[in-house]
């Protein structure tokens, strides 16, 4: 038997790697378009023919100007919105509605105001049939993990925006979704709180490496957090480019900000967005 | 020692009551007619009504009808209002119905209701029920409509069914608004209770009042007004205390501008 030249192995190897990637894809979006009817009875195309595959355990950001339909894409994966065309799948099964395998975290927090912090975090596990004592113990650990130990009995109205978002994150993590769907989660927070929450999110993510789909309009945030940044165009939203962020983990903000590779990613992606003319004017 | 300012704010309502009674007393003495007894005469008649067995039975009859009318009204109106708030189809079905009933004084329906159901408890309770329903439906509807979509989505992601979301998210979320409607409904229940008894005289607090009127016992008339008014203030204050306990978690924007507690 003759030794096969190494070079020739590559396509086969790549093919196998590709099929492995297919098998490990957590989310597949195939030809998804979304049309909304506006108040003027006109059809507004929000998303146009989006196809995207997200590997299990990947942190993927969707980045784009406001109105590009990036949140809509996230809602489709969440099962909150049905796509006009195309199909979205999770673990190979077509998405027909919301489910506990996909946990959303919204910019608006959407906490249950009549429940305490502990009550909010326990809600999901209780709904899944976890015994009260066990759900409480788990929830207390999660509350501690997101840095809110001592606030278990506070009501949402007594918390700051950053604290509310920590509760929302803990509430979603509590029912162990395979995918975290984060819809501009830090968009309503001040710069300082935002930075702290980004750091904490990365620390939490690095423990169990859930698949994360993260919608943002901040280039720095996307590059800092993600394995992959999906850059979208203005409405109708199309995928302009997918950028692999090849930066080592665990990432430390102070080191990263000085890293020329990080800086290059930020500048390159900012250029891509500039090219799409965010303000509707030619660049 | 209590600061003077706080003491004053506690005494203020009392002063207002005493002032009102003083004006009444002075007015009645000045006018000096049978149909306007003095405040003291009216107040003196209150205990005699409240210790009279016959009167007490009448008042308790009234309260029983009011309680049933209010309870049934709330039990029907909250689910209806919430469903209207969450479903366009349900809202468009019931909306014309409610728009027609809204401006009609419920007491004006009393003659027809009496014709069909007689002058007994059923007719009167029905009128109270109608009086309670509209504000409760309206506020439940408003409350359900204002529920944050993302809150429902969060619940759906946890695996709550549509029915569970209605009971466990829409209902508590709309509760501050619902209770505002119930508070209005409670006062309206008292008002419709008296008006129904005014039209269908047979028993009740309204019956005592109008019988006394017919017989020219004006101190009893005024005493009954005091009793009914005191009941209204009492119910409202008790309900307000109950409401506050129930929605302590809610944002202060739901607080009511006026409260008697």
One domain, residues A184 and A71: yes
Q: Which of A84, A79, A82, A70 has its CA nearest to residue A238?
A: A70
In this structure, are A252 and A225 located in the same domain? Answer: yes
Locate the chain B residue with the closest alpha carbon to A169: B154
B233 membership: H or E segment, kind and range: helix B218-246
According to the model, what pLDDT value does residue B106 have?
81
For residue A192, being part of any structural domain is answered with yes
Give backbone dihedrals phi and psi of A242, rounded to 5 degrees, phi first: -115, 120
Does residue B107 contact residue B127 with C-beta atoms inside 8 Å? Answer: yes
Q: Is B153:A168 a contact under the CB 8 Å cutoff?
A: no
Domain membership of residue A133 (yes or no) is yes
Helices B39-51 and B53-86, axial angle in degrees (round to 10): 90
Residue finishing a domain among A176, A210, A231:
A176
Structure tokens at A149: 């130990």
Chosen for mutation from A96, A112, A114 (greatest number of chain B CBs closer than 10 Å) is A114
pLDDT tens-place values along chain A, 283 residues long = 444 444 444 444 444 444 444 447 999 999 999 998 877 778 888 899 999 999 999 999 999 888 788 999 999 999 999 999 999 999 999 999 999 999 999 999 999 999 999 999 999 999 999 999 999 999 999 999 999 999 999 999 999 999 999 999 999 999 999 999 999 999 989 999 999 999 999 999 999 899 999 999 999 999 999 999 999 998 788 999 999 999 999 899 989 999 999 999 999 999 988 765 545 554 4
Question: For residue A258, how many other CB atoms are within 10 A of its CB?
Answer: 9
Other CB atoms within 10 A of residue B76 CB: 15
Distance from CA of B24 to the nearest CA of A (A): 47
| Final residue belonging to a domain, choices A155, A176, A197 | A176
- Rounded-to-integer distance, Cα A266 and Cα B258, Å: 56
Tokens representing residue B58 in the block: 């009448």
Q: What is the pLDDT of residue A125?
A: 96
Cα dist. B190→B22, B126, B196 in Å?
Answer: 27, 13, 10
What are the sequence ranges of the domains in chain B?
36-252
Interface test with B, best of A100, A110, A115 (most B CBs within 10 A): A110
Cα-based distances in Å from B83 to A143, A209, A214: 35, 41, 34
Find the chain A residues whose C-beta atoms sit closer than 8 A to any C-beta of B.
78-80, 97-100, 102-104, 106, 108, 110-115, 123-124, 127-128, 155-157, 171-172, 175, 177
d(CA A180, CA A103): 5
Q: Are residues A110 and A89 in the same domain?
A: no
The C-alpha atoms of residue A55 and residue A224 are separated, in whole angstroms, by: 19
Rounded to whole angstroms, the Cα distance separating A118 from A170 reads: 10
CB contact under 8 A, A110 and B157: no
Sign of the torsion formed by the C-alpha atoms of B6, B7, B8 and B10: positive
The answer to whether B186 and B70 have CB atoms below 8 angstroms apart is yes
Q: Are A91 and A121 part of one and the same domain?
A: no
Query: What's the gap in Å between the CA of B3 and the closest CA on chain A?
Result: 29
How many structural domains is chain A composed of?
Answer: 2
A61 and A111 belong to one structural domain: no
Q: Based on the domain organization, do A53 and A189 belong to the same domain?
A: yes
Give the residue numbers spanning the domain of A202.
26-98+180-283
pLDDT of residue A276: 56
Q: Does B246 touch chain A (CB under 8 A)?
A: no
Q: At what angle do helices A191-208 and A161-173 cross, to 10 degrees?
A: 20
- One domain, residues A195 and A270: yes
Per-residue model confidence (pLDDT) at position A8: 41
Supply B102's token pair: 């809204």
Query: Comparing C-alpha atoms, which of A179, A220, A215, A178 is closest to residue A199?
Result: A220
Render each residue's pLDDT in chain B as its tens digit; 261 residues. Answer: 567 888 887 888 888 989 999 999 999 999 988 888 999 999 999 999 999 999 999 999 999 999 999 999 999 999 999 999 999 999 999 999 998 888 888 878 888 888 899 888 999 999 999 999 999 999 999 999 999 999 999 999 999 999 999 999 999 999 999 999 999 999 999 999 999 888 888 788 998 998 999 998 999 999 999 999 999 999 999 999 999 999 989 866 544 445 443
| Domain annotation covers residue A152 | yes
Q: Indicate if A40 and A118 belong to the same structural domain.
A: no
- Which helix (H) or strand (E) segment holds residue B171: the answer is helix B171-199
Distance separating alpha carbons of residues B41 and B219, to the nearest angstrom: 6
Q: End-to-end CA distance of chain B, in Å?
A: 23
Cα(B185)–Cα(B193) distance, integer angstroms: 12
Do the domain assignments include residue A251?
yes
Cβ atoms of B123 and B200 closer than 8 Å:
yes
Domain final position from A149, A176, A203:
A176
**Do A184 and A250 belong together in one domain?**
yes
Residue A238, both tokens: 């199309």
Residues A162 and A193 in one domain: no
**CATH class of the domain defined by B36-252:** mainly alpha
CA A163 – CA A193 distance, rounded (Å): 9
Contact between B172 and A114 using a beta-carbon 8 Å cutoff: yes
- A280 and A215 within one domain: yes
């Amino acid at each position: 038997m003759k030794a096969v030249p190494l070079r020739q192995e590559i396509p086969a190897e790549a093919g196998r790697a590709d099929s492995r990637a297919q098998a490990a894809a957590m989310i597949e979006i195939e030809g998804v378009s979304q049309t909304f009817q506006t108040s003027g009875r006109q059809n507004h195309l929000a998303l146009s023919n989006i196809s995207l595959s997200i590997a299990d355990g990947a942190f993927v950001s969707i980045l784009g100007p406001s109105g590009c339909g990036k949140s809509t894409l996230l809602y489709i994966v969440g099962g909150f919105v049905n796509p006009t065309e195309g199909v979205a799948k999770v673990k190979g099964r077509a998405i027909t509605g919301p489910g506990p395998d996909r946990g959303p975290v919204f910019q608006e927090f959407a906490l249950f105001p009549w429940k305490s912090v502990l009550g909010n975090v326990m809600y999901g596990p209780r709904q899944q049939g976890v015994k009260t004592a066990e759900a409480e113990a788990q929830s207390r650990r999660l509350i501690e993990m997101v840095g809110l130990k001592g606030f278990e009995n506070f009501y949402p109205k007594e918390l700051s925006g950053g604290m509310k978002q920590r509760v929302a994150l803990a509430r979603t993590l509590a029912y162990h979704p395979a995918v975290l769907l984060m819809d501009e989660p830090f968009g309503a927070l001040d710069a300082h709180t935002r930075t702290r929450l980004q750091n904490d999110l990365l620390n939490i993510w690095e423990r169990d490496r859930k698949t994360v789909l993260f919608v943002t309009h901040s280039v720095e945030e996307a590059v800092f957090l993600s394995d992959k940044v999906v850059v979208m165009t203005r409405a109708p939203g199309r995928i302009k480019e997918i950028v692999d962020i090849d930066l080592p983990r665990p990432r430390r903000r102070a080191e990263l900000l000085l890293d020329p590779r990080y800086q290059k990613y930020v500048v390159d992606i900012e250029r891509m967005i500039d090219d799409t003319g965010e303000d509707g004017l030619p660049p | 020692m209590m600061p003077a300012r706080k003491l004053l704010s506690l005494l203020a309502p009392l002063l207002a009551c005493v002032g009102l009674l003083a004006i009444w007393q002075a007015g009645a003495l000045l006018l000096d007619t049978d149909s306007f007894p003095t405040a003291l005469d009216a107040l003196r008649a209150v205990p005699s009504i409240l210790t009279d067995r016959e009167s007490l039975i009448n008042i308790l009859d009234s309260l029983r009808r009011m309680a049933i009318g209010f309870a049934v009204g709330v039990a029907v109106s909250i689910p209806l209002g919430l469903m209207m708030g969450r479903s366009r189809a349900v809202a468009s079905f019931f909306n014309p119905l409610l728009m027609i009933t809204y401006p009609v004084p419920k007491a004006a329906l009393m003659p027809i209701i009496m014709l069909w159901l007689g002058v007994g408890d059923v007719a009167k309770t029905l009128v109270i029920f109608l009086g309670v329903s509209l504000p409760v439906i309206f506020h439940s509807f408003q409350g359900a409509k204002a529920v944050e979509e993302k809150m429902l989505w969060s619940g759906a992601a946890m695996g709550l069914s549509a029915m569970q979301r209605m009971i466990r998210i829409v209902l508590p979320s709309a509760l501050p608004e619902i209770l505002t409607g119930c508070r209005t409904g409670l006062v309206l229940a008292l008002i419709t209770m008296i008006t129904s008894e005014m039209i269908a005289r047979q028993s009740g607090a309204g019956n005592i009042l109008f019988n006394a009127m017919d017989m020219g016992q004006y101190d009893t008339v005024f005493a009954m007004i005091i009793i009914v008014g005191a009941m209204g203030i009492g119910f409202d204050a008790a309900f307000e205390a109950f409401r506050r306990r129930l929605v302590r978690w809610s944002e202060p924007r739901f607080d009511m501008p006026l409260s008697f507690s």
